[in-house]
Amino acid sequence: MKNLILQFSVIIVIFSCSPQQNSNTSFNPNRNGNFIVHDAFKKYFDSCGVDGAIAIFDKNNQQWILSDTGNVLKESLPASTFKIINLLIALETNAIKDENEIVKWIGKTDTVKYGYRPEIYHNMPVKEAFEVSAGWVFVELAKKIGKENYQKYLTACHYGNLNLDEKDDDFWNFGSFEISPINQVEFLKNLYEGKLPFSKKNIEIVKRVLISEENDNFTIRSKTGWTRENNTNTGWWVGYMEANKNVYFFATRLLQDRKYNRADFGSCRKKITMRIFNDLGYI
């Protein structure tokens, strides 16, 4: 059915039987009965040849809009969407003084892991590194921050599964640290509302850096992410859109076996999300 509205009792059964539920999320079907599942969204993910999910939270109506009842709770590597909380932690721990601080180019990087991107191999302000996803900059910040600080702030923010066993510094791209679309949205809601263990100043800095699109109709604050770990393309677009005197928080994730690589994988993250926003009448 298009725009399927599940009865509360049915939802409880589905979620209680799901092995994928994120243990670090406050989302619970026994308490969060106000949500709608749109199974028709699947056609957009199918058109891109991916296994996908989207979780949206409508602030004014206090309502969840979901593509399904399973994948939205399934965890995976956050990839570069982690740069949102990473920037907050870097600011709060004084690893950097502000978003304009310049990080000096280290002279080399692993092009096998990160690809060959000569356009980012130079001294760079952190704000620019966020916008162009210069991974090497955030790896350098991670060395300053340290795993102990990450564990502290990630726990306080209820962000992800808290598994930081990956020995390399970029545990958000490789290893077992994972987060679900629902958990991403919950974190973004708390960021917007200032309900995170960071100073107001640092939260406002991150909100400014997050602006990715702005026009007369809406403002989108967002971050993309893409990792190829475990022979899987894991692609994200997360953020929130201010429009119609409302705020819509969203997390879109695509999963694709790399043997089925498609050239449009990267563009599909935003394309699918904006089509769904259009279907819902948000834009």
Residues noted as catalytic? 80
Q: Which residues contact 133 (CB under 8 A, 6 or more apart)?
A: 80, 83, 224, 225
Q: How far apart are CA 29 and CA 12, in angstroms?
A: 6
What residue ranges in 150-278 does DSSP mark as E strands? 211-214, 218-227, 232-243, 246-257
* Alpha carbons 217 and 281: distance in angstroms, whole number: 12
Computed over its alpha carbons, how large is the radius of gyration of the chain?
Answer: 18
- Rounded (5°) CA angle 270-142-72: 35
